[in-house]
Structure 1
């Protein structure tokens, strides 16, 4: 069963990472202004990996052959599964690692994941599946 879920989770991760974050930026900007006006500190910017991403930029708008994934500060979401992200840590290189707990077909799959900035893209590695990174582009 686990072998069937690994490709499924990889595909779901691809979909989650391609989601757009255009709607978040204005809200964050407005909140920062409100916070500063109130005399409080500015909120922390979202981690670099937060947003909608796709392994193929076409998937951001045409989901006939693939789909984007969405990453929030605490979740990794695909077309048919949702993964909670815990134990999130930054790496000395400026990346991040986390533990995923994914619900799929009535089972919970746990595995590590790592994110690294790669120019305008992010590189994602699932260490339990090998060390080859998959590049994702941000959806706009």
Structure 2
């Protein structure tokens, strides 16, 4: 279990425009700002010796050692999105919220259950 917790806590380090009205999962476009391949360090897009990118789909969040389904996706007043993550890593399911917000051409990701600090991700080309 400590290894799983460490892997999930390390995800932000290793690893959005819309209406202000909440939207359901079905209304999230495949071309939402958060959809793409992102890295906390742009070098990780091509050199994965020290870190690796994450892939965010319209309804899935994919890390190196985990897969998360995203549900209850709603827009925020700040032109971002909130979602409920249900992640499977090493056979264990973890559920937690996540917030995606545009930060210029970067994506700010906050895991509110872990604290208020955002991790900035750059889009991989």
Band the TM-score falls in, shorter-chain normalisation: 0.7 to 0.9
What is the aligned counterpart of 1:77 among 54, 62, 83?
62
More helix by share: 1
Give 1:55's aligned residue.
40
Give 1:5's aligned residue.
4
1:12 Cα deviation after fit: 3.9
Query: How far apart in 2 are the matches of 1:102 and 1:13?
Result: 14
TM-score, scaled to structure 2: 0.82
What is the aligned counterpart of 2:109 among 116, 120, 124?
124
TM-score, scaled to structure 1: 0.74
Question: How many residue pairs were aligned?
Answer: 112
Give 1:108's aligned residue.
93
Give CA deviations for 1:27-63 in whole Å, capped at 9, x if unaligned: xxxxxxxxxxxxxxxxx56111000000000000000
**Structure 2 unmatched ranges of 5 or more:** 16-28
Q: Which has the larger radius of gyration?
A: 1
